[in-house]
Every structure is written in C-alpha cells, then in structure tokens.
Amino acid sequence: MRAMALTRPGAGTLEAIEVDLQGPGPRDVLVRVLACGVCRTDLHIVDAELPGPTIPIIPGHEIVGRVERVGDHVTTFAPGDRVGIPWLGWSCGECEFCRAARENLCRAARYTGYHINGGYAEYAVANASFCFPLPATYDNNHAAPLLCAGLIGYRAYRMAGPGTRLGIYGFGAAAHVITQVAVHQGRDVYAFVSPGDDQAVRFAREVGATWAGPSNEPPPIPLDSALIFAPVGHLVPEALSRTTPGGVVVCAGIHMSDIPSFPYRLLWEERVIRSVANLTRTDAKEFLTLAADIPLRMHVQVYALADANRALDDLRTGRLSGVATLVP
C-alpha cells in the first residue's frame, strides 16, 4: 500500500513509501482508509516536539475507514462497516488507571499514528475494541475531525465545568467544533485569536462565538472558564487573569511551550489550572452520540494523500482555517 511516513526522527517532513499490507490480528480490523484528519498532534510528532515515536511511523489518528477484514475474535464489526479510529489505540485494561475507568492515563497505552501506524495511508489496522461506529449524517471528510478535534475538545469542554461564559484560546479545529457544542447547549463563547488575525475572528463568529478578539485583550465580561487549544504557555496566566473567582483554565493540547511564572493573585480565589490527557472510550461514545444529534458543521479542506506535507505546512504556518483531511 501507499503511505506517507516519518522515516527519520525530527525530519519535519514525511516520505512517500510503499509498504506490505498487513492482515488483521485476532482482535483487529483491517480498514480501507476513506479519509484521515490532519491534527496538530501529527505536527508535533513530525517536528519532534513529542518524544519517542515509533520510527518509521505512519501518522494520522482521525481515521474514517471501511472494514475489509476482521480478526477471528472480532464480533463487533463486519466487512463493509464504516468505522472511526481515534488517538487511543490500546490500553492494558489491568493497571490502576484502567480499572478506575481512566484508561487515558494507562502507562502502557499505545497511540494511533505515534506507536501504531495510522491513517496517512491506503489501509490501516486497528484493535476493534478501540474503533467506533460513526454517525451516518456525516460524510467521510466531515466525520474525520470528530475523532480528535471533537473527542479531545469534548473532554476538555467537560472539564471546564458548568459555567455559561466560556473562553477559547486558539481557534482551530477543536475550537470550531466545541464552539458549536457550547452554543447548542446555551453557553456564550468568547474566542481569542492571534493579534491581527482577522480571518480567525471572522471564522469564530461564523461558527457561533459571541465575541472574538486578540488573545492579549480582555473579553467584554469575565469568563467562568477557558480552554487553551493553542500550544502557547504564556496564554495560561493570560487566561487566568480573565476568569472569575472559582474559574477553571483547561490546557487541552498534548504539547505546550513553557508556562512563565506569574503572580499568585491570578490563581487565588480558588481558580484552577488543569490539563487534558488523551481520551477514553466513554468520551468517544458520549461525544459521537452528541454529534449525531446536533449536528456539527465542519469546515474542511481536502488534500490528496500525496499532499500530506503541504497540509501539515498549512497547519504549521496558520494558513488553515478549520480542519484538513487527507484522502487516499
């Protein structure tokens, strides 16, 4: 099969390769990739900002595929089914975290496109227990972003608590999904973008933000909580300074630059900073059910598989609004 792979650590670009097609193991499914989203985590892997990926590795963890074959022990899917394959590719099921329904923290976990070959390819193999049926209301390209921008965004959104005034820093793929969820649930969203990025301001307003403006300026009203999707550490004290007493700031990325020191008064009055790590299968089931009911409007730019490096560079340089998907 054809694939785009990271063949050298820190290479910054992917290489077009051909690899032998692997059959599914006893608990796996083999899927023909129909679309694969391009996530900022893929960029962190390619740019060596995350340690220890399998090399060579085929990135991609927002995979929409059609089941071609199933392993001998698989009873949940059959050939012809459309499935989604997300970031969490396997957890041990036995450690203290797994037993406490916190498999996202499993120390032995393996992740799609990081430890397990992902969806920047014509085919992918995944453990059937970590795959999900997708809402029929979304076509392949619009379903792909649900699997990370949606799932990780949703986990971060739930951790922000029940407040009605939600700030979002960094208005990309996850932000445009979660803004629609928040608005659907009756919340006001305040979008913070890079100073001077008028395109991002317009984009945020198009998907329902009450207000949109530069990340270094105050919102018109204090926030109950804030989600930080941009991998920029100095936004943490900035967001804290905009929240009410008891406010929550959620760092939603897998990688962030260093957080600078800040005065204790920003944290005082029971404000909270917390991070989000990965996802659980419960997150996936809850969010995909919710996505079937809303539904969400995805702003998608489609690239050919061979143009994966261009898609990553558009994401790297901020030329991309919404989400990108690769189509073999």
Q: What is the CATH number for 286?
A: 3.90.180.10
- What pLDDT, on the 0 to 100 scale, is given for residue 22? 87
Asked if 7 and 79 sit in the same domain, the reply is: yes
Residue 142 and residue 282 in one domain:
yes
304 and 214 in a common domain? no
Q: How far apart are CA 297 and CA 264, in angstroms?
A: 40
Question: ∠ CA(65), CA(66), CA(68), 5° rounding?
Answer: 125
pLDDT at 318: 86
Give how many domains the chain has, as a whole number.
2
Question: 127 and 22 in one domain?
Answer: yes
CA torsion angle 145 149 151 155 (round to 10): -170
Express each pLDDT in 59-110 by its tens digit. 999 999 999 999 999 999 999 999 999 999 999 999 999 999 999 999 999 9
Looking at the fold, whether 118 and 161 belong to one and the same domain comes out as no
216 and 80 within one domain: no
**One domain, residues 25 and 55:** yes
Q: Which residues contact residue 166 at a Cβ distance below 8 angstroms, ignoring those fewer than 6 apart?
A: 157, 160, 182, 187, 188, 189, 190, 223, 224, 225, 226, 227
Distance of alpha carbon 94 from alpha carbon 100, whole angstroms = 10
Same structural domain for residues 68 and 212? no
* Mean pLDDT score, 308-327: 93
Tell me whether strands 88-90 and 2-5 are parallel, antiparallel or unpaired.
Answer: unpaired
pLDDT value at 10 more than 90? no
Burial of 43 from C-beta contacts in 10 A (0-12 / 13-18 / 19+): buried
pLDDT value at 239 more than 90: yes
Tell whether 131 and 24 lie within a shared domain.
yes
Do residue 118 and residue 18 come from a single domain?
yes
CATH number of residue 177's parent domain: 3.40.50.720
Q: What is the domain range of residue 80?
A: 2-148+278-327
Percent of the chain with pLDDT over 70: 100
Compute the Cα dihedral for 131, 287, 58, 105 and give only its sign: negative
Question: Do 144 and 11 fall into the same domain?
Answer: yes
- The whole-number pLDDT of residue 324 equals 96
Contact of 44 with 59, CB cutoff 8 Å: no
Distance CA 221, CA 142 (A): 33
Residue-wise pLDDT for 13-42, tens only, equals 999 999 999 899 999 999 999 999 999 999
Dihedral sign (CA 248, 256, 275, 196) = positive
Same domain, 257 and 303: no
The predicted structure's pLDDT at residue 322: 84
pLDDT at 11: 86
Record the pTM: 0.94
Residue 160: Cβ-neighbour burial (10 angstroms; 0-12, 13-18, 19+) = buried
Smallest CA-to-CA distance from 153 within 312, 34, 284 is with: 284
